[in-house]
Amino acid sequence: MIDPHVHLRDGSQSAKETLRHGMGVGSKAGVLAFFDMPNTDPPLTTRDRVLARLEAGRQAARVIEAEAGKTVFYGVYGGLTSDPRQIAEMVAAYREAAGGVVGFKMFAGHSTGGMGIVIDAQQQLVYQTLASLGYRGVLAVHCEKESLLRPGLWNPDHPESHCLARPAEAETASISDQIAFARKAGYEGVLHICHISTRRSIELVVQARAQGMRITCGATPHHALLDIASAGRADNLLKMNPPLRTREDREAVFQGLLEGTIDWMESDHAPHTIADKRLGASGIPGFAGLLLLIQHLRTAGVTEERLARLCGKRAREVYGLAAFDALYTLAQGSCQVPSPEQIDSVLAETRAAYAWDPFCALTV
């Protein structure tokens, strides 16, 4: 499988996760390609940091290959700011490390890592700059409109209040913004909406796609399988950005995967220590969720061909892995979906690899 959205931490965040541990756990669960997000410490916003991270990830992947006998691919996103010179530096790094730097990430709202670009004019400048540089790769966007967030509603004694503090309309408004900004700028790359979580958001993507836009979206296991009814779990263990939504939105996300209107599943694997979670950190471990989601989709009648697209084939098309001969065999293998028997054999170990299991209430 290909997981196009992971946060493998490492460095100063090694207590939360490391490259070697995360890819080791994920590879046992059937993930053979990992696309790592740039909100590390420090963030991956310079050429040197991006290329150093890419090499560190590749070294970790080689260790796993030697230990487990599996070919593992590591790719990384460059993080964007609103500075045109920085964006140009990232585009140069993307071209220099073709096939390793898989695309760019923009946080159109503050989340974990302090990389938010929250002013409309600055977001528009990102698209204008990418268009002027002829960039045609993937821009993955975390969509939550800052002006619609309501941080005053967050109450740590009631973890479910996080769902009110970051409401659904913040996501849909931001997606609408990104579509408009990309069109106005003449951006010719792929606009990818990360961790889509509401019915209306899915509708916006479908509409833009029907109008000829190069736009994709991914969904997480937690937004497809869990909803606000679970969000009150103690110690903020089910706190993430965007938060869990209503039952209706959760059902829409699941149906979008089942029908193929959502392009792929992405774990948004982002573990923290229990101590950090108790202090309000957003993010959860996600590899076990991928396995559970696969089985729930099978129970709902998904075809194996659709599963293969959700688990790697579609991402391979969008990110252009087929264009790199050295990755062709890997990309083909990365589209293999674990069988029910394989999932049964690794699910318990995958769940136990982290300090808590956000999907503990779910069974296969």
d(CA 120, CA 117): 8
Q: Taking the domain 2-352, which CATH number applies? A: 3.20.20.140
Give me 145's structure tokens: 């409109």
∠ at Cα 238 (38, 194), nearest 5°? 40
The three-class DSSP label of residue 221 is helix
Is 125 a residue whose pLDDT tops 90? yes
Neighbours of 101 (CB within 10 A): 25
∠ at Cα 333 (29, 217), nearest 5°? 75
Nearest Cα to Cα of residue 58 among 94, 129, 119, 8: 8
Dihedral of CA atoms 287, 288, 292, 297 in degrees, nearest 10, equals: 0
pLDDT at position 321 is 74
List, for residues 41-62, the tens digit of each pLDDT value. Answer: 999 999 999 999 999 999 999 9
pTM attached to this predicted model:
0.97
DSSP run (H or E) holding 4? strand 2-6
Neighbours of 2 (CB within 10 A): 27
- Give the relative orientation of helices 340-352 and 19-28 as an angle to the nearest 10 degrees: 150
Q: Where are the domains of the chain?
A: 2-352
Q: Which residues are catalytic?
A: 268
Average pLDDT over residues 78-101: 96
pLDDT at position 325 is 44
Number of H helices, E strands in the chain: 15, 8
pLDDT at position 328 is 45
Q: Are 7 and 270 in contact (CB under 8 A)?
A: yes
Nearest Cα to Cα of residue 224 among 280, 185, 262: 262
Is 218 a residue whose pLDDT tops 90? yes
d(CA 202, CA 171): 11
List, for residues 240-295, the tens digit of each pLDDT value. Answer: 999 999 999 999 999 999 999 999 999 999 999 999 999 999 999 999 999 999 99
List, for residues 110-123, the tens digit of each pLDDT value. Answer: 987 779 999 999 99
Nearest Cα to Cα of residue 256 among 337, 314, 177: 314
Give me 1's structure tokens: 């499988």
Least confident range from 27-31, 176-180, 233-237, 350-354: namely: 233-237
pLDDT at position 187 is 99
List, for residues 287-344, the tens digit of each pLDDT value. Answer: 999 999 999 999 999 999 999 999 999 999 999 876 554 554 555 555 689 999 999 9
d(CA 61, CA 354): 20
d(CA 259, CA 65): 35
Which single residue is written with the structure tokens 């992971």?
A: 6
